[in-house]
Structure 1
Amino acid sequence: MSKTLLLLYKASVAHLNNLQKIAPDWSILHTTEKVVAEKMIENAEVVMGNHHLCESLPFNKQQLKWVQTNSVGIDFILKKCGSNLEGKIVTNAKGVYNNEICEHTIGLILTLQRNLHLIRDAQQEHRWERPMQLPLLSGKQAMIIGYGSLGKAIEEKLTMFGMKIFGVNTNTQYFFDETNTTKKHWKELLPAIEIVVLALPYTKDTINYFGEKEIVQLSPNAIIINIGRAGTLDEKTLYTQLIAGKIRGAALDVFNDEPLDATHPAWDIKNLFVSPHMARSREINPPFQFEKLFEENFSRYINKKPLLNIVDTIKGY
């Protein structure tokens, strides 16, 4: 009996052919239908994709060894799938969407720096409003909190603007200065930081990681960007500081409650830019950005080589 790979997404002919070349003797199935997935997963050894993953997992007859997700953040999958993932290798799509999320992050920063959101508001009201002075990114200090592959990719882009970047690794809580001789805690720098980028995963250790104590240390010239996970930022304190003018601006791609209700206070905060969870685009039809990663990882699995992006399910990333 051949081994089974189940793809929980629309798979193009080219992608299927590539996977079949990697494992000629495997049965490769694919579906986006819940009822069909529950049947197809019965004898699957490998599953790729998030769609109906958690609903179908209980129907597997214990053959499942590896699950590859098409998302980077997997907190919602770990929570929803629960014990059905125990004993399974789980890998994520870390790195796949870096370019796209980096471009969106730069767009959000420039929007706030150049007051483009306020100019758009003025246009809607038919007002010619030209700001007297607009700050440059060059020479500014930025802090990227969540210094993984995405954080480092964002650093590379921001450095091109002539910025000084401090990357914060949540495991160590520290960063090193340019000479690597002085070890300081990242919170000591907050009053001098003008751009904070949050790129954190959501785990038990990162809930409100950038909370009230951190937010109130920022200068009135500071802006906050969150393109990581909701729940890692104290939204309530942020809104209060924005309304009081104690922070220049913020752009959030993620929110604790999505989609935002029409009565949500975020809509009416002028210096808050609402980005409706769009740093990564919604891919509906193939080819998908994650295909090359999975083809590489599937080849590694077949050839008994170490897999890329193995998730520590206890840590949550």
Structure 2
Amino acid sequence: MKRTLLLLYKVSQQHLSNLQNIAPDWNIVHTTDKTVAAQLIENAEVVMGNHHLCESLPLNKQKIKWLQTNSVGIDYILKRCGTLLENIIVTNARGVYNDEICEHTIGLVLTLHRNLHLIRDAQHLHQWERPIQLPLLSQKNAMIIGYGSLGKVIGEKLSMFGTKIYGVNTEVQFFIDEKGTKKHWKEILPTIDIVILALPYTNETINYFSATEIQQLPANAILINIGRAGTIDEKALYEHLNTNKIHAAALDVFDDEPLNPEHTAWTIKNLFVSPHMARTRELKPPFQYEQFFEENFKRYINNESLQNIVDITKGY
């Protein structure tokens, strides 16, 4: 029986041809239909894509060896598929969307920093509101929490404005201040003007940036979350925004999506609601992840190490 690759997304002829050239003797099938996916997955050795994955996975008879997702965050898949992923190599799309998400993040930083969100509100009221003495980004300290491949790209671009960058991840938790004193990242929050969260959602990152951390920020601080919902205490953030204890925030992800019309977030003047758009919806091919999929599939065929292997116990 031919080895089977199942693609759970819309496939362009060029992408299909590229994959078939990599593995001429493989059976490469594709669908976005739930019923068809349940049938095609029965004998699949490799699956690429998320569409109807969790519903179909229990029907796999020949144990899947490798699953490639088209998303960076896989908490949803881990939650729904659970033990079905045991002994399966799982890889994600880390790095594929870095440029797009980075551009959106920089846009949010500039929007809040230059008060463009408030100017837009004033425009709707036909009011000429000209801010006074806006500071430069070159005068600011930014902390990026979740300093992986995406966080580093954001830091690199933001540093081009002259902003000082503090990157926080599991390896980097301490920094040396001007006096040569070693301090934990939480200790220097009162000196941070811009906080950017780019965290995955795991058991360790739930409310990672809690009310305790939010209240340490100075009154001029802005906060942006382009990572996963649930990594920040939204309720505490709303309270600090409503009382102007911090200057402004922009959230691209929320605990409850989409926001219902009565949600409190809509009424907070200094909160910019970014409707989960740091990575835009791709409805038809070619998709951004195709080239990465092809490269990883080539590695699999050649028995080489795969890129972006996920530790399912950690969740990233």
- The TM-score with structure 1 as length reference comes to 0.97
Q: Is the 8 A contact 1:73 1:92 kept in 2?
A: yes
Question: For the residues of structure 1 that align with 2:19 and 2:175, how far apart are their CA atoms?
Answer: 43
Query: Match of 1:120?
Result: 120
Question: For the residues of structure 2 that align with 1:75 and 1:284, how far apart are their CA atoms?
Answer: 22
SS at match of 1:167: strand
**Is 1:249 matched up with 2:270?**
no
Q: How big is each residue's C-alpha offset from its partner over 1:120-163, in whole Å with a ceiling of 9 and x where there is no partner? A: 11111111111122221112100000010000000000010001
SS at match of 1:138: helix
Q: Which amino acid aligns with 2:220?
A: N
Query: Match of 2:229?
Result: 230
**Is 1:49 matched up with 2:61?**
no
Question: For the residues of structure 2 that align with 1:77 and 1:175, how far apart are their CA atoms?
Answer: 33
The farther-off stretch of 81-90 and 241-250 is 81-90
Change (3 A) 1:296 1:183: farther
**Is 1:262 matched up with 2:294?**
no
Question: For the residues of structure 2 that align with 1:81 and 1:214, how far apart are their CA atoms?
Answer: 33
Question: Identity rate of aligned residues, in percent?
Answer: 72
SS at match of 2:35: helix
Matches within 5 A, 1:19-98: 19-98=19-98
Structure 1 position 183, deviation (Å): 4.2
SS at match of 1:57: helix
Question: For the residues of structure 1 that align with 2:225 and 2:13, how far apart are their CA atoms?
Answer: 37
**Is 1:220 matched up with 2:219?**
yes
Structure 1 position 175, deviation (Å): 3.5
Question: For the residues of structure 1 that align with 2:181 and 2:285, how far apart are their CA atoms?
Answer: 49
Q: Is the 8 A contact 1:2 1:26 kept in 2?
A: yes
**Is 1:144 matched up with 2:144?**
yes
**Is 1:303 matched up with 2:296?**
no
Query: Match of 2:166?
Result: 166
Q: Is the 8 A contact 1:167 1:175 kept in 2?
A: no
Question: For the residues of structure 2 that align with 1:111 and 1:251, how far apart are their CA atoms?
Answer: 9
Question: For the residues of structure 1 that align with 2:121 and 2:294, how far apart are their CA atoms?
Answer: 45
Question: For the residues of structure 2 that align with 1:184 and 1:283, how far apart are their CA atoms?
Answer: 43
Question: For the residues of structure 2 that align with 1:161 and 1:172, how far apart are their CA atoms?
Answer: 26
Question: For the residues of structure 2 that align with 1:45 and 1:183, how far apart are their CA atoms?
Answer: 50
Structure 1 position 266, deviation (Å): 0.4
Q: How big is each residue's C-alpha offset from its partner over 1:219-259, in whole Å with a ceiling of 9 and x where there is no partner? A: 00000000000000000000000000100000000000000
Query: Match of 1:187?
Result: 186
Q: How big is each residue's C-alpha offset from its partner over 1:198-233, in whole Å with a ceiling of 9 and x where there is no partner? A: 000000000000001100000000000000000000
SS at match of 1:297: helix
Question: For the residues of structure 1 that align with 2:90 and 2:253, how far apart are their CA atoms?
Answer: 24
Q: Is the 8 A contact 2:202 2:314 kept in 1?
A: yes
Query: Match of 1:16?
Result: 16
Q: Which amino acid aligns with 1:20?
A: Q
The farther-off stretch of 278-287 and 80-89 is 80-89
Q: Is the 8 A contact 2:175 2:185 kept in 1?
A: no
Q: Which runs of 4+ in 1 moved over 3 A?
A: 175-179
Query: Match of 2:275?
Result: 276
SS at match of 1:28: strand
Question: For the residues of structure 2 that align with 1:183 and 1:23, how far apart are their CA atoms?
Answer: 53
Structure 1 position 172, deviation (Å): 3.6
Number of residue equivalences: 315
SS at match of 2:137: coil
- The TM-score with structure 2 as length reference comes to 0.97
Query: Match of 1:208?
Result: 207
Q: Is the 8 A contact 1:146 1:199 kept in 2?
A: yes
Q: Is the 8 A contact 2:177 2:183 kept in 1?
A: no
Question: For the residues of structure 2 that align with 1:234 and 1:178, how far apart are their CA atoms?
Answer: 28
Query: Match of 1:240?
Result: 239
Q: Which amino acid aligns with 1:249?
A: A
Question: For the residues of structure 1 that align with 2:258 and 2:153, how far apart are their CA atoms?
Answer: 28
Q: Which amino acid aligns with 1:139?
A: Q
Q: Is the 8 A contact 1:173 1:185 kept in 2?
A: no
Question: For the residues of structure 2 that align with 1:240 and 1:172, how far apart are their CA atoms?
Answer: 31
Q: Which amino acid aligns with 1:293?
A: F
Query: Match of 2:135?
Result: 135
The farther-off stretch of 193-202 and 131-140 is 131-140
- What CA RMSD, in Å, does the superposition of the two structures yield over aligned residues? 1.3
Question: For the residues of structure 1 that align with 2:41 and 2:183, how far apart are their CA atoms?
Answer: 50
Query: Match of 2:108?
Result: 108
SS at match of 2:29: strand
